[in-house]
Amino acid sequence: MEHIIKVTKLTKVFDKTKVAVNEISFKVEKNIIFGLLGPNGSGKTTTQRMLTALLSPTSGQIMIEGTDYKHAGGKILQDIGYVPQKDALYNNLTVWENVDFFFSAYKYEGNRKDRIEEVLNKVDLLDNKNTLAKNLSGGMAKRLSIACAIVHKPKIIFFDEVTMGLDPVAREKIWRLTTELKEHATIVMTTHYMDEAEALCDQLLIMRDGKIIANGSPWEIIKHFDAKNLHDAMVNIKDENA
Amino acid sequence: MLKIAYFELKKLLRDRRWLALIILQPIILLFILGAATIHDPKNIKIAVFSQWKNEYSNQIIQNLQDEKDLKIEILTSEKLLKDGLDKNHYRGGIVIDIKKNESQINGDLLFISNSTVPEISSQAKLLALNSTKKTLADFAAKNLQAKITTQSQAQSKIIQSDLKSKIDTLETNLSKLSLPNEQLTALTKPLQGIEKINLNGFDNLAKPNQIKINESKNTTRKIRYFDFYASAVVMLLVLITCLNMSSASITQERIDGTFERFFVTPYTKTQMIMGKMLTFSVISLIIAFVTIGTLYYVFNASLGPLWLVILITYLTSLSAVAIGLLVSSFTHTIAESIQVSITIFFSCLILTQFIFQTETMHPILTKITWLVPFTYSMQALREVNLLNVGFMDVWQDIAILGGSVIVFISLAIVLLHRKAD
Ligand SMILES: Nc1ncnc2c1ncn2[C@@H]1O[C@H](COP(=O)(O)OP(=O)(O)OP(=O)(O)O)[C@@H](O)[C@H]1O
Ligand SMILES: [Mg+2]
């Protein structure tokens, strides 16, 4: 099996003392949905931010498609899409303009207009293409945020709690979209919804206090904690912690 | 990069209230500005040229040199003096043209003010004219006394005491004299008074009154006091607006999270800064046009060639935007960026010689003012708007401004941390 991401002893220390991520090592296979789980403050966002080159690791190594991140330069960014935990959109630009703007940063062969239309259609925002981002509802903003991250057809997509605050129908839609995306891309996602992780993820990594405490398929994890489902498994982890 | 600039512009133009503020601000401030501050300037550089060498002109120069607030530089030709004034080397110039022959002293004394700094210039004029008038009064008194001693003792005693009071009146009258364009009539009045008490044979004592004091300016423009500030205020308006909008811009993106998102794309920080730079320079061009337009159409202000005024203003705005972006490369909240830009603005207000002139400054601060790029735009704008100078006279200021844009942009690019740690 080919590994698109290989992380070795990755560590991030904030302000010299705050260890947010502590020597974690893992591998992610190509074209799967990889779930990063763990309680609040366990280091999921920090890990994702290092994987998207937004933070430089204090120590450790990140290999993307066999290339060390440190030496990859900006080239690797072409293949990455990131949906941050907080919707990061330009409020004074319309739905279409937001996508167009982020799209403009990437190389793309083919008709850009068609692609934007296609993506907006995918996230169900084509009818709202002229709405200003500041006038979108929470769920719509989230979907726009996703559109901005996938428009350039990245090979690796990072989702940081993309379904947070969405209604069940919208959540369904995103699940379907994520599964579709898996055909051409690898998805690394974080979520606090265990049903979601169980239904979507092929592979899971459970973190606590910056360390990995479990790694495997949802089924393996459930078995490992001797639980009924993933939810119970996670509650067990928290209990152990307390 | 053009795409970045295009969307940036779109974002800004959608903010209607902000746009209205940006355009109204210069108009409102122009109506408020124009008030003056009165200082106590020192070391005012005045050029003096005397056409003839005689005791009268020497004495006038000597007394000017004794004037502690003036710094007199004696030149060898009138041309040197006028050139120096045009190049803004002096705050004023005095041409002394006093001839003396056997029985007559007559001539002119011309004071030329430097139109770029009227308040300093008029202060200098006041000091110079008063000193000259005193000198002339002394001559009159000495002449009078010389004549008196040739009269009989008894006669002279009466005359001397009377004369003394006359000379006192003369001097108080002179010190009260401050109207610049006035001829030296004050001298003649008391002397005429002396004549009235029958000082026979003293009729040629009033000779110094044939020296006329004139004044002129080193420009043909009609300049009001308002113009002195108005000429340069465009620079300040552009400065504060550009500083504020650019210094808040990147910070806003940091807060919204779009900053991080931008840097997950292959866009670079150079592209971000240059893109924003391009947009803001369009906005600041609008501000420059509004301000210069108001000055021109509403206030009928004294302005130089419009393309030159706009060029200097535009470079100023680029420099301000670059400083703003530099600020935003290290500030983390909007409040922080606004505070920093306000501090920069007020420092510039003081340092660019908009209000305070170098004469009133600590010598070290004077040197610092020349490290601030806006001092050069202030200077260039004043010279272009108030004097009859062209591009060749201000190209150095323009070059320094242009250089500062490059320096600040480079610094902003270097100091902008795309990473969050
Ligand atoms: N820039 C920073 N400076 C200092 N500490 C930080 C910074 N970013 C994160 N941390 C700390 O690192 C730890 C991990 O944070 P992180 O955001 O990665 O958690 P998370 O797993 O994403 O949590 P959540 O589920 O709440 O999103 C937290 O204790 C947080 O306070
Ligand atoms: Mg998080």
pLDDT band at A185 (very low <50, low <70, confident <90, very high): very high
Chain B residues with CB inside 8 Å of A151's CB? Answer: none
Confidence bin at B231 (pLDDT 50/70/90): confident
Which of A20-34, A168-182, B189-203, B364-378 bottoms out in mean pLDDT, i.e. has the lowest?
B189-203
Per CB-CB distance under 8 Å, the chain A contacts of B260 are: 49, 54, 84, 88
A218 compared with B55, residue with greater pLDDT: A218
Ligand nearest to the CA of A209: 1
Bigger pLDDT: B418 or B277? Answer: B277
Exposure string for A91-117, b = 16+ CB within 10 A, e = fewer: bbbbbbbbbbbbbbbbeeeeebeebbe
Where are the alpha helices (H) located in B94-224, listed in sequence order? 118-149, 153-176, 185-196
Statement: residue B98 has pLDDT above 90:
no
Residue B388 scores a pLDDT above 90: no
Q: How far is the CA of A41 from the centre of ligand 1 (A)?
A: 5
Give chain A positions within 8 Å (CB) of B4.
101, 104
Q: Which residues of chain B does A102 touch, with a Cβ-Cβ cutoff of 8 Å?
A: 261, 265
- Chain-chain contact of B7 with A101 (C-beta, under 8 angstroms): yes
B256–A89 CB contact, under 8 Å:
yes
* Size of chain B in residues: 421
Best of A90, A144, A155, A157 to mutate (most B CBs within 10 Å, chain B): A90
Q: Give Cα B412 to chain centroid, integer Å.
A: 32
Q: Taking CB atoms and an 8 Å cutoff, what residues of chain A touch B15?
A: 92
pLDDT tens digits for range B23-35: 777 777 666 653 3
For position A58, what pLDDT does the model report? 92
What is the pLDDT, as a whole number, of residue A19?
92
pLDDT at B139 over 50: yes
Distance (angstroms) between ligand 2 centre and the Cα of A63 equals 22
Asked whether the beta carbons of B54 and B100 are under 8 A apart, the reply is yes
pLDDT at B419 exceeding the cut of 80: no
Q: Between the CA atoms of A144, A149, A151 and A155, what dihedral angle is there, to the nearest 10 degrees?
A: -150
Q: Are B109 and B98 contacting, i.e. CB atoms less than 8 angstroms apart?
A: yes
What distance in angstroms lies between residue A85's CA and the mean position of ligand 2's atoms? Answer: 6
Residue A67 three-state SS: strand
User: What does the block give as tokens for B235?
Assistant: 């620079």
Take residue A19 and report the two structure tokens written for it.
């260890």
**B261·A102 Cβ contact <8 A:** yes
Indicate which atom in ligand 1 lies nearest the CA of residue A43: 18
pLDDT of B189 higher than 50: no
Walk across the sheet containing A203-208 and list its strands.
A80-83, A156-160, A186-190, A33-37, A203-208, A211-216
Which of B4, B265, B276 should be substituted to probe chain A, the one whose Cβ sees the most A Cβ atoms within 10 Å? Answer: B265
The 8-class DSSP code of residue A21 comes to E
| pLDDT (0 to 100) of residue A13 | 94
- Average per-residue pLDDT for chain B: 74
State both tokens at A62.
């990140």
| pLDDT band at B199; cut points 50, 70, 90 | very low
Q: Measured in Å, how far apart are chain B's first and last C-alpha atoms?
A: 26
Please name the residue of chain A whose CA is at the shortest distance from the CA of residue B418.
Answer: A54
Question: Which secondary-structure segment (H or E) carries A24?
Answer: strand A18-29
Which of B124, B150, B11 shows the shortest CA–CA distance to B71? Answer: B124
Residue whose CA is closest, atom 12 of ligand 1?
A20
Average pLDDT over residues B293-321: 86
Helix axes B118-149, B153-176, angle to 10 degrees: 170
Q: State the pLDDT at residue B292.
A: 86
Q: Please give the Cα distance from A84 to B113 (Å, whole number).
A: 65
Given a contact cutoff of 8 angstroms between Cβ atoms, the answer to whether B99 and B52 are in contact is yes
Question: For residues B413 and B73, what is the distance between their CA atoms, to the nearest angstrom?
Answer: 47
pLDDT(B203) > 60: no
The pLDDT value given to residue B141: 65
> Cβ A54–B11 below 8 Å, yes or no?
no
**Per-residue pLDDT at A103:** 94
How large is the ipTM?
0.89
Please judge whether B420 and A49 are an interchain contact, meaning their C-beta atoms are less than 8 angstroms apart: yes
Residues of chain B neighbouring A89 (CB-CB closer than 8 A): 256, 258
Local confidence band at B15 (pLDDT 50, 70, 90 cut-offs): confident
CB pairs under 8 A between A and B: 75
* Cα B381 from Cα B235, distance rounded (Å): 8
Banded model confidence at residue B252, pLDDT cuts 50, 70, 90: confident
Q: How far apart are CA A224 and CA B154, in angstroms?
A: 134
- 8 A C-beta contact, residue B251 and residue B328: yes
CA B301 to chain CA mean position, Å:
16
**Closest approach of chain A CAs to the CA of B267, in angstroms?**
6
Per-residue model confidence (pLDDT) at position B103: 55
d(CA B357, CA B360): 6
**Neighbour tally for B11: CB within 10 Å:** 18
Q: How far is A95 from chain B (nearest CA, A)?
A: 13
Name the residue in chain A with its Cα closest to that of B11.
Answer: A92
Q: Beta strands of B44-142 (E only): which ranges?
A: 44-50, 70-74, 92-101, 104-113
Q: What is the mean pLDDT of residues A25-49?
A: 92
Provide the terminal-to-terminal Cα distance of chain A, rounded to the nearest Å. 38
| Closest-CA residue of chain B to A54 | B419
pLDDT of residue B185: 41
Provide the residues around ligand 2 (an ion) whose CB is within 5 A: A 45, 85
Q: Is B222 exposed, middle or buried (0-12, 13-18, 19+ CB in 10 A)?
A: exposed
Number of H helices, E strands in chain B: 15, 5
Cα dihedral B141/B144/B149/B153 (nearest 10):
-100
Cβ contact, residue pair A56, B15, below 8 Å: no
Residues of chain B with Cβ-Cβ distance to A49 below 8 Å are: 260, 420
A209 C-alpha to ligand 1 centroid (Å)? 10
Measured in Å, residue A19 CA sits from the centre of ligand 1 at 10
Tally Cβ neighbours within 10 Å of residue B413. Answer: 19
pLDDT of residue A121: 92
State how far residue A198 is from chain B, nearest Cα, in angstroms. Answer: 28
Nearest Cα residue to atom 3 of ligand 1: A14
Determine if ligand 1 sits within 6 Å of the CB of residue A191. Answer: no
Q: How confident is the model at residue B284 (pLDDT cuts 50, 70, 90)?
A: confident
Average pLDDT over residues A4-14: 92
- A226 has a pLDDT exceeding 60: yes
CA of A46 relative to ligand 2 center, distance in Å: 7
Average the pLDDT over A215-222 and give the result. Answer: 87
Ligand 1: does its nearest atom lie under 6 Å from the Cβ of A43? yes
Å from CA of B419 to ligand 2 middle: 17
B365 vs chain A: nearest CA distance in angstroms? Answer: 39
Ligand 1 atom showing the smallest separation from residue A48 Cα? 18
User: Least CB-CB distance to B258: which of A52, A55, A88?
Assistant: A88
